[in-house]
Copies of this chain bind each other. A is one copy, B any other.
Amino acid sequence: MTTATHPLDTALQLQSTATPGHYQGRTTPDYWNMVGPFGGITAATLLRAVLSHPRLLGAPLSLTVNYAAAIGEGDFTVRAEPVRTNRSTQHWVVTALQRDADGQEQVTTTATVVTALRRETWSATDLPMPAVPAPAQCARVETAFRSEWLRRYEMRLVSGALPTQWDDSGHTSLTQLWVRDAPERALDFCALAALADVFYPRVWLRRARQVPAGTVSITVYFHAGESDLAATGTGYLLAQARAQELRNGFFDQSAQLWNEAGQMLATSHQIVYYKE
């Protein structure tokens, strides 16, 4: 019997170098988007660098990734540096670089990460999971366009499908869908970071017009601990996203991810460039 490596684990492979916190990675066709890797896989890869660092304290609490340039096919470098370590939190600055045609290393992506040791405390939600049909009752999304990374996710739509008519008739930006890795894979922090970016651009829905768009910066707040991830396993997440404001070339997106038991695993925000 052979066990195939999951495409996500292939994408997240980082080779240590002589310098602690400096890693070599390589893009994979499995998560290719239009002009570079799916933003979620880049976020997950930068988080992986932090989680691989020998000086890591705790688990991910906050992740912000800024997409400065598209990553080209091939090798890239990730540098993760713990710039301040406190008793229960650790602050990271992360940079991804790639050589340009002249062999010069150029920054493609920056990130900051906070990791933390968490303890059980009084807890509550102020945004319960919406009542929606179960995954099995929701039709699987057939992707209307050909980005390879979309095949790495099983998506079952609740509401807010990709418009079929691009006629400027849109009136909402809300999408709700059940989603998990395809093939199935037990949830971990890196997979969760990538899942926070699975939504097509909100401007397409709000406007019912397909304009060029791309994420500039994404932030993910992790509410799940290891036990929540283990309890979620290979189950579906309910992923919900909406824009708040779309103005002069940029819109924001607010997103939430719950597991099937209704536990909030992560909340996320991003600011996205759009044209016209």
Contact = CB atoms under 8 A, between A and B. Distances in A.
A21 to B, nearest CB: 15
Contacts of A84: 68-69, 106-108, 110
Given A62-B216, A95-B83, A264-B245, A223 B206 contact: no
A118 to B, nearest CB: 5
A246 B106 contact: no
Given A91-B107, A93-B110, A112-B64, A225 B206 contact: no
- Where chain A touches its partner, the secondary structure class is strand
Contacts of A64: 64, 112, 217, 219
B244 A267 contact: yes
Given A66-B114, A219-B64, A252 B274 contact: no
A107 B91 CA distance: 9
A127 interface: yes
Contact of A221 (B120, B127, B271, B275): B271
Interface residues of A, number: 62
A169 interface: no
A60 B49 CA distance: 28
B110 A112 contact: yes
Contacts of A89: 68, 216, 273
Nearest to A256: B244
A19 interface: no
Given A84-B106, A110-B83, A118 B68 contact: no
Contacts of A276: 121-122
Interface of A: 61-62, 64, 66, 68-69, 83-84, 86, 89, 91, 93, 95, 106-108, 110-112, 114, 116, 118-127, 172-173, 202, 206-207, 216-217, 219, 221, 223, 225, 242-250, 252, 254, 256, 264, 267, 269, 271, 273-276
7 contacts: A64-B64, A68-B89, A69-B84, A112-B217, A244-B256, A245-B264, A267-B269
Given A125-B247, A217-B219, 9 more contacts: A61-B216, A62-B66, A68-B83, A83-B95, A120-B248, A125-B246, A127-B245, A247-B264, A252-B267
Q: Which 4 interchain pairs have the tightest Cβ spacing?
A: A68-B84, A68-B91, A245-B264, A127-B244
